[in-house]
Amino acid sequence: MNHRHRKVLHAIFAHPLNHNLDPKAVEHVLEELGAEMRHTGHGGVVVKLGGEQHSFHFGEHSLAGEEVVKLRKLLAAAGVEPERDYPL
């Protein structure tokens, strides 16, 4: 995982909640983590990672706050810990 992907991953878990995440950058990070993604149309994406599966709505310009929270939960349930596994 390159430095840019690591920065996006850390931004997903940042406090306070980051409302300025590029959906394409998030998709690239998920691909790097080995996630399977299926686009369902109109911004809908089903993500499967580490036995966990969730559906998201990725807007055109940035992710909504509730989508970031759902993404954090998916990554945490899949065992992804940015500080431990992908330090900056």
- Tens of pLDDT, residues 26-42: 999 999 999 999 999 88
Which positions of the chain have pLDDT values less than 50?
A: none
Per-residue HEC secondary structure of 40-51 comes to EECCEEEEEECC
C-beta of residue 74 within 8 angstroms of C-beta of residue 83 = no
Q: Please name which of 25, 64, 67 lies closest in space to residue 75, comparing C-alpha atoms.
A: 67
